[in-house]
Amino acid sequence: MRIIKEKEIQMNYSMISLLQFIFSILVIMLHVQRIFQDNTLHYIQKSIFSRMAVPFFIVSSSFFIHQRMSSLNYTLRDYLKKMIKVYLVLSILYLPYAYLYISPFNFSLLAFPLVLFVGLVYTGFCYHLWYFPALITGHIIVAQLKKRVNDFIVGSVLFLVYIVGTLETYASYFRRFEWFEGYQSYRKVFFTTRNGIFFVPIFIYMGYILYKYRHHSMFSKNYTVKLLVASCLFLLEAIFIYFNQGDDKNFFVALVPFSTFLMNWATRTPLLRSVNMSYFKEKSSFYFFFHPIFVELGFFLTQSWSLSADQKGLLIFILTVVALMSLLSVLKYLNIPWEKYVYLKNMR
């Protein structure tokens, strides 16, 4: 790729922090199951807006990792070590939830350690913790590929692997084909293609490409227009899926360019650049890590209430956000450095 030389862009950390916070809220909305009674609104919220969150988190974190690696004495190994520490602390915190979740299955004492091992290295001990083993695996895969082949081949391979993963979303369109039985057999064992092999690597790679070629005209010119085009492609694909939905809706092909150009736009836009929004960065991490505690507590407390699914979901969402805001305020008032205890100090 031809690089256009220009002055280093002034990074808009405020917009990035704001988007991370918005997406952390959308993740909570996803996990309370349902907020809107209308199926179309439910699909728009859950399968369009909430599905933007994790890809953006991955692209942005990959961007900043490669930024640090290029300017500091910092390596991917340093990052992975810190990620593993964060993950282990959170796994210990959510171990009681994992036990309550698997106890109805009555696993034997011999099988129990294996179940915990699978939970630790694949699914996570809570439904949001799959992100960490997937991210660690994804970084290792991308790093190994980058050592062996050029960027174009790496991107082509990872995109093709991602396309295979989209069978989860496009399952309804392919059920009549004989080869689809292979996907069904895979799903019986591994549950989902949303993992560190099929889902995460392409977004890690796009964060790397976005940083490496940030001065190229592909990213530096008409970045708002390109985001609008990527948004339209994502919307069209979402409409296409809406009328024939698959097993799950984690994968959208257009999420790859959309997440990349959204992050690119966020780094460059002058909008809100002068406003200090660093507090949103702290809130986004706190909300993402700890929201299941209050979501599950909400489901437990309201299980006998005569509420519709959307009423219960909205109530739990509001209570969860209020609880998270209150707890974070108390921690700050008591000057308790919660980030230190999960090894997040100075980690974007």
pLDDT tens for residues 115-168? 888 889 999 999 999 999 999 999 999 999 999 999 999 999 999 999 999 999
pLDDT in tens, 64-94: 999 999 877 889 999 999 999 999 999 999 9
Picking from 38-52, 107-121, 163-177, 260-274, which range would have the lowest pLDDT averaged per residue?
A: 107-121
Q: What is the pLDDT of residue 7?
A: 46
The three-state (H, E, C) secondary structure of 43-79, written as one string:
HHHHHHHHHHHHHHHHHHHHHHHHHHHHHCCCCHHHH
Per the listing, tokens 């090894």 go with 343
Q: What is the pLDDT of residue 8?
A: 52
**pTM for this prediction:** 0.92
Reported as a pLDDT band with limits 50, 70 and 90, residue 6 is: very low
Q: What is the pLDDT of residue 338?
A: 79
Reported as a pLDDT band with limits 50, 70 and 90, residue 4 is: very low
Q: What is the pLDDT of residue 81?
A: 92
What's phi and psi for 86, nearest 5 deg?
-60, -45
Reported as a pLDDT band with limits 50, 70 and 90, residue 39 is: very high
Average pLDDT across the chain, whole number: 91
Q: What is the pLDDT of residue 1?
A: 46
Per the listing, tokens 């409409």 go with 239
Reported as a pLDDT band with limits 50, 70 and 90, residue 322 is: very high
Percentage, residues of the chain above pLDDT 70: 95
Reported as a pLDDT band with limits 50, 70 and 90, residue 343 is: low
Residue 301: pLDDT above 80? Answer: yes
Neighbours of 86 (CB within 10 A): 18
Is 8 within 8 Å of 202 (Cβ atoms)? no
Reported as a pLDDT band with limits 50, 70 and 90, residue 5 is: very low
Q: What is the pLDDT of residue 344?
A: 62
pLDDT in tens, 188-218: 888 899 999 999 999 999 999 999 999 999 9
